[in-house]
């Protein structure tokens, strides 16, 4: 049970119109409620751009199924253990989603400006991690491990083999620079507004 003012670890982000929300039923003092277990969106609500929502829900369900036998005997310990596990196993993937959405939002707000800025070595390497997967099966497998929640990016891309493959690909593509397609967000919204105005009966098209 929980007191009337109980509040756990609640966090969220809205980037580029996409919602991501994290809910933890514990704070620095421990569980704020027992007898209630969050799974799926009740813990990690992520937008569908990475397609990881179902996988995260299934991982949580597996943990709860394995540990459920102890919940009735020690509900507070069970709740605390579950919260620690979600922080270790699920929170990193939630944070990756938030970081990716923020980067995409910055890019989509003004891709022309982003394209005009000379890329740093780190930005060029980061973009190449995606581009080279079309040419190198080792890099494709590393990316697949991330997409399927097998390994976080720092582990999947951090092996000596992957680092060497990336270096070779960059050496073979000396002119590679990160590319950004599409208009700026303001241009897109302006074009959509003109189209909508032009299709409204009795209203003169915008010029």
Q: 164 or 199: which carries more pLDDT confidence?
A: 164
Domain ranges of the chain: 9-97, 118-198
- Residues 143-164 have pLDDT tens digits of 999 888 888 888 999 999 999 9
Return d(Cα 103, Cα 131) in angstroms, integer.
17
CB of 170 closer than 8 Å to CB of 135: no
85-94 per-position pLDDT tens digit: 999 999 999 9
Phi, psi angles (nearest 5°) of residue 30: 120, -165
Q: Residue 190 and residue 61: Cα distance in Å, rounded? A: 45
Q: What is the reported pLDDT for 38? A: 92
pLDDT at site 96: 87
Please tell me the pTM assigned to this model.
0.68
Element of type H or E holding 71: none
Residue 12 has pLDDT above 50, yes or no: yes
pLDDT given for residue 6 in this prediction: 37
Q: Tell me the percentage of the chain whose pLDDT exceeds 90.
A: 38
- Of all residues in the chain, the percent with pLDDT exceeding 70 is 76
């Amino acid at each position: 049970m929980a007191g009337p003012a109980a509040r756990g670890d609640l966090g969220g982000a809205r980037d580029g119109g996409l919602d991501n929300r994290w809910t933890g039923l514990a704070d620095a003092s421990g569980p704020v409620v027992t007898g209630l277990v969050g799974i799926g969106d009740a813990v990690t609500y992520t937008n569908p751009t990475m397609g990881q929502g179902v996988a995260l829900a299934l991982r949580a369900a597996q943990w709860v199924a394995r540990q459920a036998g102890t919940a009735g005997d020690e509900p507070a310990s069970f709740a605390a253990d579950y919260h620690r596990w979600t922080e270790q196993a699920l929170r990193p993937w939630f944070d990756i989603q938030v970081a990716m959405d923020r980067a995409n939002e910055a890019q989509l707000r003004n891709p022309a400006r982003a394209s005009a800025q000379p890329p740093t070595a780190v930005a060029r390497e980061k973009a190449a991690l995606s581009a080279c997967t079309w040419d190198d099966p080792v890099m494709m497998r590393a990316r697949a491990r991330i997409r399927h929640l097998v390994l976080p990016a720092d582990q999947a891309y951090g092996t000596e083999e992957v680092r060497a493959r990336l270096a070779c690909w960059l050496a073979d593509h000396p002119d590679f620079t990160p590319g950004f397609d599409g208009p700026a967000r303001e241009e897109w919204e302006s074009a959509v507004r003109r189209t909508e105005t032009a299709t409204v009966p009795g209203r003169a098209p915008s010029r």
